[in-house]
A and B are shown apart, each in its own frame.
Chain A
Amino acid sequence: QSVLTQPPSVSGAPGQRVTISCTGSSSNIGAGYDVHWYQQLPGTAPKLLIYGNNNRPSGVPDRFSGSKSGTSASLAITGLQAEDEADYYCQSCDNSLSGSRVFGGGTKLTVL
């Protein structure tokens, strides 16, 4: 079991909006640590999608956005496209584990 909890899968039709949740606790997200999101296309390395809760690296479309509240964070994808089909991971830090960077279990996004 991952320290950060994500739904195993979400789906949506092209053009729709989907959200992926990342639920933590008072020792990680709730402690104020930043949440980052990664996209992993099949057979490739992860790619940074959102950093510092709600910031997009250069080149990431503004269809992707992040938010954080309390002990949870969310990734929203609007105007869903076929190429968005991938695995998505949240990541943060946990102060109950020495020097630990933690990932969510990952969410598989299927574009119907």
Chain B
Amino acid sequence: EVQLVESGGGLVKPGGSLRLSCAASGFTFSSYSMNWVRQAPGKGLEWVSSISTSSSYTYYADSVKGRLTISRDNAKSSLSLQMNSLRAEDTAVYYCARVDYDILTGPSSVWGKGTTVTVSS
């Protein structure tokens, strides 16, 4: 079964750090670009970051550039999101999603169930 499982969410104070992980199974992880998408409470979907198959290319939304870092470990079929200098507006459910065919234009046909990040004092 094709599956993505996120972990690492939790409550963190403003200015703090958190590392999210996403474990992939059921498909050849190294063959797909991956991305993180978030959804603030009661709000819509927001693309956060994407990474190419060999990590050669990474892209970030302006709202997180310089604070969040995406990475992957193909040997472990794992995707990560290091989150630093967290702000209240980073509070959201974070989804890991597989990108099909093109890192910029392809659809995301596989999604995890999400992990919740709450930034509050």
| A-B interaction | yes
Residues of A within 8 A of B57 (CB): 99
Interface string of B49-72 (1 = CB under 8 A from A): 010000001011110000000000
Q: Known: A48-B108, A105-B44. Is A100-B59 also a contact (CB below 8 A)? A: yes
Interface SS, B side: loop
Q: Which of A89, A99, A102 has the most CB of B within 10 A?
A: A99
Residues of A within 8 A of B46 (CB): 103
| Residue A36 interfacial (CB < 8 Å) | yes
The answer to whether B109 and A103 have CB atoms under 8 Å apart is no
A36 touches B107 (CB 8 A): yes
From 92 to 112 in chain A, residues with beta carbon under 8 angstroms from any chain B beta carbon are 92-93, 97-106
Instruction: Please name all residues of chain A whose beta carbon is closer than 8 Å to the beta carbon of B35 when the two chains form the complex.
Output: 101
| CB within 8 Å: A-B pair count | 68
> Which chain B residues lie closer than 8 Å to A33 at the CB level?
105
Q: A34-B105, A45-B113, A46-B111 are in contact. Are A100 and B47 (CB under 8 A)?
A: yes
Chain A contact residue count (CB 8 A cutoff): 29
Q: Kindly supply a per-residue 1/0 record for chain B positions 87-121, scoring 1 wherever the CB is within 8 Å of any chain A CB and 0 otherwise.
A: 00000000101001001111111011110000000
Contact between A89 and B45, CB atoms less than 8 A apart: yes
Instruction: Establish whether residues A102 and B114, one from each chain, have CB atoms under 8 Å apart when the complex forms.
Output: no
Chain A interface helix/strand/loop/mixed: strand
A100 engages B45 (CB within 8 Å): no
Bound complex: CA A99 to CA B48 (Å): 11
B60 touches which of A36, A89, A93, A99 (Cβ 8 Å): A99
Binding site for A on B (CB under 8 A): 35, 37, 44-47, 50, 57, 59-62, 95, 97, 100, 103-109, 111-114
User: CB within 8 Å of B: which residues of A?
Assistant: 2, 33-34, 36, 38, 40, 44-48, 51-52, 57, 87, 89, 91-93, 97-106
